[in-house]
Chain A
Amino acid sequence: MSVQTVLAPQAEKPVRPSFVRRYLPYLLIAPSVIMLLSLIAYPLLFALRSSLYFWNLQIAPQPLTFVGLANYVQALNAFDFRDALVNTLVLSVTGTAIEFAFGLAIALLLLKALPGMNVVRALLILPTTIAPIVVGFLFRYLYDPGGGLITWLLRVFGAPVPPMGLLGSPTTALAAVLFADVWQWTPFFAIVLYASLLSVPDEIIEAARLDRASPLTMLIRIKLPLIRRTAVIIAMLRFMQLFNTFDTVLVLTRGGPGTSTRTLGYSLYEQGLINFNIGLVSAMTWITVLIVNVIVALYVSFAFRNEEW
């Protein structure tokens, strides 16, 4: 029997990475982390803490006393909370749906090689670049019962216009606010969806055409599934923006008549920047954050239920 001794290869001496190599990833992500912490986490945590105190700047410059969940109770029992929540949901859901539908229709039109489409594409971006406050003022004039263009057009086409004007009647005011938003943000959907539709491979469309698929079938079975991720994300973004609507409401109706156009965003503005009730507005902020996040989570999980997200 012979024994063969095999020497194990000498282990390489571990090389300690240089200081820069070790810390580089952290240095690179540090600005983002700091930015996120300072812009998102800190204000939210500050609001959470404030929501547990009685802190009204009209009464005292600093928080006076710990009140537990009293601000949340006050916010939920406020005279306008239920109306504001319902209006906000109506505005957000209807607005997102209408803007998506119109935006998709315009995007499909843009795909056609019709004359003047380059100009249309350039013009489409304009409404989205206008500040909502300015849009509010513009539509205040357009809705003027004495001679506003929209009021006049409605009368010409025989549509009933309330005597107190579209913004003055509780039955039409919210729809009027919604229309102003649809005017401004439908082009945003159109442009993004147009860009997504351009990415749909021509060969798939051509194959469907050879299979004699109708335009509607191609839209529902091919184009929409292929642009679904983009569509879901921009719809979600617009929903969240609409949920916080306050500037257009401020200029057009100040939440009236009555509470017919009051939104959670407007109530937040009123409590925060007019009444300066920091404790209460912080509680309202957290309620809003929770509602939006629950809705968005449900929406995302439903939209991507069959695939990895």
Chain B
Amino acid sequence: MSVDTTGLSRRSLLKGVSGAALVGSSFGPLLAPSRARAQSSKLVRVLAVEDPFFFSMKAMIPDFEKETGVKVELESLSYDALQARLVSAFVAKTSDADVIAVDQMWLGQYLDNGWIISLNDFIAKDKDIDLADFIPEVLYSSNTWRGQIATLPVAAYAQGVMYRKDILEQFGIATPPTQTSEAWTWDAYLNALKSLDGKQFGGKPLFPTVVCGSQPSPIVHMFTQISASHGANWFKAFPTSPWNFEPQLTGPAWIKSVDIYRELYKLSPPEAINYVWFDAGTRFAKGDIGMFYWWTPYFYLIKNSGYMTGKKSDIMGKYAAAAMPKAAGVEQTISLGGWSLGVPSSSANQEAGYAFIKWATSKATQKKMALWPDLNYQFSDFARVSLYKDEEVKAIYPYLDVQYAMMKQGNGKVTRPPVPGYTALESVLGLTLNQLLTGAADPKVALETTNGLFTSILKGNLMIPYQKESFGDTLSEAKALISKLGKS
């Protein structure tokens, strides 16, 4: 059979294709039932990250549903997947959730791009949010940007030291202090670790410490605690105004910090070069590490034999937590991190979204999350002062005083500046640090090269010279904002 096709013009073909597209678009709504469901104010869709807080928050959801009559659709993703999913939804202008977990490093980007809304108006109208109960250093580090509170903290992390009581006692090493002390310096920390080098404990080889070597985020998260302690700044002027993003990685504080981190790696298991966050924690929980420092959730995560397994580790009852060491003569700065909840501007359910955030970050819910016994009691990452003084909670979490003391010295804006384009800088710094751990390169030369790469990236991202309006993003500004919103 032959078919004559000569009669088909391009216009006809275009008409046909357009028709097919029209038919396709007509069926579009059928393919997006979740979007339709989102219009219902009786449903709140929450997109979270699978950090320790998620599990206890999930367990409390039935309480919220019972109290409000609003059903919660809770979904969790890994860190990278969450960021990719959120940004894809924002760019496509789709309503993917009513509440989202926001890392402090994403806050400026999301707010500047109009992807999440400011919570200032909600908070100002809210009589019982008790804003003054939040630790100001946490709100400053994780939740404020350009005079706006855009998120509220659901889990706040500082960094602290964990050590084996039995090991330090056997080798006659003094117990580290629970409060910041002029005597507890990085040199003192290193000396204590060096005295464990080459030792055996319980008939097995002992490693004095463990670090994260994996690039980019894990190694940068751990290293920047040392650099912040030594007063190292990433940029010429940030967060104080006017912002100037010329990188400052060649200063002596950076070089000294690299030297310390290299020393720490030499005292760690060699395979730590590939360790990510939980690898370092679970290695300590295995029992062959003397002392290390890490995010405060690990104060309790190491009670488990693996990450969030709920199975008790061999070191339960044998370890304690202590303050971070400081650099001699430099005011201590602690790295702050954690997770917060925000409302996407694309959500049609912003009121209900805020109600969920208020509930999840409230003192009552956070306390219930802390008292949730599953997984061996894993949530004490409070951003509220009152919970650090709650005797019932303190009975379960014995290191709350250390956590709170570290939080009060926290400054997330200096340690890892949440500036637009941060991740590209973190990639380069993470790679440099990773190479410095295993190689013999001169830290000064490597940091100069990295500084050059930073300049190139920042210029490429139109950050040098900075063309937008600066903002004096200081703790005192944040405190003034908290006070203003709390009073109104």
Instruction: Give the B-binding residues of A (Cβ under 8 A).
Output: 17, 21-27, 30-31, 33-34, 54, 56-61, 64, 74, 79-80, 144-146, 162-165, 167-168, 170, 253-259, 270-271, 273-277
Given contacts A79-B453, A168-B273, A256-B274, contact A25 B5 (CB under 8 A): yes
- Choice from A33, A74, A145, A275 contacting B271 with Cβ under 8 Å: A145
CA–CA, A276 to B424, complex, Å? 9
B36 at the interface (CB under 8 A from A): no
**How many Å from the CB of B450 to the closest CB on chain A?**
9
B41 at the interface (CB under 8 A from A): no
Q: Are B271 and A59 in contact (CB under 8 A)?
A: no
CA–CA, A80 to B430, complex, Å? 13
Q: Are A58 and B273 in contact (CB under 8 A)?
A: no
Given contacts A22-B8, A26-B8, contact A256 B215 (CB under 8 A): yes
B91 at the interface (CB under 8 A from A): yes
Given contacts A57-B87, A146-B271, A168-B271, contact A24 B3 (CB under 8 A): yes
Q: Are B431 and A259 in contact (CB under 8 A)?
A: yes
Given contacts A22-B4, A257-B434, A259-B431, contact A34 B20 (CB under 8 A): yes
**How many Å from the CB of B135 to the closest CB on chain A?**
28
Q: Are A56 and B8 in contact (CB under 8 A)?
A: no
Instruction: Give the interface SS of chain B, mostly helix, strand, loop or mixed.
Output: helix
Contact with A along B83-94 (1 / 0, CB 8 A): 110010011000
**How many Å from the CB of B15 to the closest CB on chain A?**
11
Instruction: Give the interface SS of chain A, mostly helix, strand, loop or mixed.
Output: loop
Taking CB atoms, residues of chain B closer than 8 Å to A80 are 431
Instruction: Give the A-binding residues of B (Cβ under 8 A).
Output: 3-5, 7-8, 12-13, 16-17, 20-21, 80, 83-84, 87, 90-91, 109, 112-115, 213-216, 269-274, 276, 420-424, 427-428, 431, 434-435, 437-439, 453, 460-463
- Choice from A21, A57, A164 contacting B109 with Cβ under 8 Å: A57
Nearest residue in B to A24 (C-beta to C-beta)? Answer: B3
CA–CA, A276 to B112, complex, Å? 15
Instruction: Given A254-B214, A254-B276, output 6 extra A-B contacts at Cβ < 8 Å.
Output: A22-B7, A26-B13, A163-B271, A168-B274, A253-B274, A276-B423
Q: Are B273 and A276 in contact (CB under 8 A)?
A: no
**11 A–B pairs (Cβ distance < 8 Å), ordered by A:** A30-B17, A33-B17, A34-B20, A58-B461, A164-B271, A168-B270, A168-B438, A257-B274, A257-B435, A257-B437, A258-B431
Given contacts A22-B4, A26-B8, A58-B420, contact A258 B216 (CB under 8 A): no
Given contacts A34-B17, A61-B90, contact A164 B273 (CB under 8 A): yes
CA–CA, A257 to B422, complex, Å? 22
CA–CA, A168 to B270, complex, Å? 8
Taking CB atoms, residues of chain B closer than 8 Å to A57 are 87, 91, 109, 113
Taking CB atoms, residues of chain B closer than 8 Å to A163 are 270-271
- Choice from B17, B272, B439, B462 contacting A64 with Cβ under 8 Å: B462
CA–CA, A164 to B437, complex, Å? 11
- Choice from A144, A255, A273 contacting B215 with Cβ under 8 Å: A255
Q: Are B17 and A79 in contact (CB under 8 A)?
A: no
Nearest residue in A to B4 (C-beta to C-beta)? Answer: A17
Taking CB atoms, residues of chain A closer than 8 Å to B424 are 58, 271, 275, 277
Given contacts A59-B462, A259-B431, A273-B83, contact A254 B216 (CB under 8 A): yes
Nearest residue in B to A15 (C-beta to C-beta)? Answer: B4
